[in-house]
């Protein structure tokens, strides 16, 4: 594009020559001087108009450099705030303890069904196949619970809901979505009802992944895991089949011992299983881990569920006879 200032100079020189020639012929220097001034003023007006048009064609040049950089910094700050919003944990929370989890796109359905919702069909994660139960009725399981939060805040769960780490929800590998479960922390007896709306955790030793808020309510958000009992709450999952005033016998779990050594916990489990009196009561014995500090894990030996009060009392007496003082009892429902 021609330089408008160069064109202005050329035009001024040409018209100045014409003006001088005209002035000589008219024998009047004032006419030439006035004509030259008028030509220069007209050229300046045209040049200014051209520069104004160029600026309007390129709005970015219209802003001073400092103002433009200030707007850029403000936009970047807004982006950072949007990314961080809702993803901060309360002070003192152990960020490194968050459970390994997967995104919905990592879950591949293997047999989509026209009858069941897609998230309740069999699926594969990292090459492992998982089956989903047809019903949650009567489900009770004892195992390790973990939690997940900031890394998945705002992302979609397996059934398309938006995950909220400050809400009460959970992920389970095999229960139908949605299922209401009651989770009891065997370490402290705390319990809470949560709704299953996601898949996970994909660790062999864990049975449920809780939201941060649920883990906090159960008292293990500062840890990575806790031993729990997970029970489907039939009165909420199947209200039409459950009388309102029906009272079910509580499930009782008894902690026989806790050890830093996994070998000691397995030895106690073997001794309990070998006791003939306990064999008659048909009480299941498990070794579960509890994390209290980053590098400290306790291996606890749990017996249960025990449904009858007399059986519960009998187990406690037998354990005391075996030399195990002060067994810990936890009622799960």
Check pLDDT > 70 for residue 292.
no
Check pLDDT > 70 for residue 24.
no
Region 182-201: mean pLDDT is 92
CA distances 294 to 37, 144, 202, 223, Å, are 87, 16, 21, 8
Give the pLDDT of residue 60. 45
Check pLDDT > 90 for residue 282.
no
pLDDT tens for residues 67-99? 444 444 444 444 334 334 444 555 445 444 555
Region 36-47: mean pLDDT is 54
* pLDDT band (50, 70, 90) for residue 14: low
Give the pLDDT of residue 174. 92
Return the SS3 of 296.
Answer: strand
From CA 193, how far away is CA 180, in angstroms rounded?
7
Region 182-205: mean pLDDT is 90
* pLDDT band (50, 70, 90) for residue 158: confident
Domains of the chain and any CATH numbers: 95-241 (2.40.40.10), 252-331 (3.30.70.1070)
Region 236-251: mean pLDDT is 66
Give the pLDDT of residue 123. 85
Region 240-261: mean pLDDT is 74
What 43-49 contacts at long range (C-beta under 8 Å, 24+ apart), as own/partner pairs, is 43/8, 43/11, 43/12, 43/15, 44/8, 46/8, 47/4, 47/5, 47/8
* 64 dihedral zone (left: phi>0; alpha: psi -120 to 50; beta): beta
Give the pLDDT of residue 85. 43
- What is the pTM assigned to this prediction? 0.56
Give the pLDDT of residue 48. 54
Give the pLDDT of residue 185. 93
Give the pLDDT of residue 6. 55
Any idea what DSSP says for residue 203?
-
Region 41-55: mean pLDDT is 51
What does the mean pLDDT of the chain come to?
73
Region 90-114: mean pLDDT is 51
φ/ψ of 302, rounded to 5, equals -115, 140
Number of H helices, E strands in the chain: 8, 13
């Amino acid at each position: 594009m021609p330089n408008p200032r160069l064109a202005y100079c050329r035009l001024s020189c040409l018209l100045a020559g014409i003006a001088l020639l005209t002035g000589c012929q008219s024998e009047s220097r004032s006419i030439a001087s006035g004509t030259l001034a008028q030509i220069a003023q007209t050229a300046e007006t045209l040049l200014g108009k051209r520069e104004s048009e160029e600026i309007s064609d390129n709005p970015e040049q219209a802003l001073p450099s400092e103002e433009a950089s200030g707007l850029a910094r403000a936009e970047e700050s807004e982006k950072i705030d949007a990314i961080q919003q809702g993803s901060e944990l309360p002070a003192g929370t152990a960020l490194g303890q968050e459970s390994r989890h997967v995104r919905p796109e990592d879950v591949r359905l293997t047999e989509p069904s026209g009858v069941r919702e897609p998230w309740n069909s069999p699926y594969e994660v990292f090459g492992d196949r998982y089956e989903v139960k047809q019903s949650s009725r009567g489900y009770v399981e004892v195992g390790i619970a973990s939690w997940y939060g900031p890394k998945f805040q705002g992302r979609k769960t397996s059934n398309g809901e938006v995950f909220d780490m400050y809400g009460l929800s959970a992920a389970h590998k095999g229960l139908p979505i949605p299922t209401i479960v009651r989770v009891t922390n065997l370490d402290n007896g705390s319990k809470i009802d949560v709704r299953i709306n996601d898949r996970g955790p994909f660790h062999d030793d864990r049975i449920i992944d809780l939201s941060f808020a649920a883990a906090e309510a159960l008292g293990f958000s500062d840890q990575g895991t806790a031993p729990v009992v997970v029970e489907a709450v039939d009165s909420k999952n199947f209200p039409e089949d459950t009388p309102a005033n029906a009272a079910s016998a509580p499930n009782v779990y008894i902690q026989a011992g806790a050890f830093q050594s996994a070998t000691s916990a397995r030895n106690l489990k073997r001794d309990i299983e070998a006791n003939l009196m306990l064999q008659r009561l048909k009480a299941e014995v498990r070794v579960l881990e509890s994390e209290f500090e980053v590098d400290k894990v306790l291996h606890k030996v749990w017996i249960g569920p025990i449904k009858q009060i007399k059986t519960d009392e009998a187990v406690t007496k037998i354990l005391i006879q075996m030399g195990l003082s002060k067994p810990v009892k936890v009622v799960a429902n």
